[in-house]
Amino acid sequence: MKAIKIGVLTIAAFILINNQYSVASVQPGVPNIKASIARGKELYLLQCLACHQIDGGGVPHLNAPLDGSANVKGKDKAMLIKIVLNGLKGAEIEGESYSNVMASHKDLTDQQIADILTYVRNAWSNKASQVTVAEVKAVRAKLK
């Protein structure tokens, strides 16, 4: 019986924590970087992991590294958003050539793109500002 109570309390705590993230992420005009990073990590694992690897190190000469990249940590967030939206082919990044094609991810929502990029800009050794939904919307609008 004691194990059942502990299990129920664990499930209840999990629900409360997840609902807290949901509520925090929906408040208009209040960007929550911690919630964005958490969502972004989950999306990264689904969308980006195969090419850019768990450590963000990429694959030499195939897929660009994200960890420690000046482009990832830089101030030009619009460039990163464009890469996610349009994909990339035959890139030379920071003096290194990468031959794999990065597919377009236009199918992702503005929130999903903002979350993934916020995660990537703050994962591993990276420390950079948050990418907002408004920034993604603005870039997407310019690309239409």
Measured at the alpha carbon of residue 28, what is the angle toward residues 133 and 118, in degrees to the nearest 5? 35
Average pLDDT in the chain: 85
The predicted structure's pLDDT at residue 45? 98
Q: How far apart are CA 94 and CA 101, in angstroms?
A: 17
Collapsed DSSP state (helix, strand, coil) of residue 59: strand
The predicted structure's pLDDT at residue 39? 98
Note the pTM of the prediction, 2 decimals: 0.79
* 39-61: pLDDT as tens digits: 999 999 999 999 999 999 999 99
* 127-138: pLDDT as tens digits: 999 999 999 999
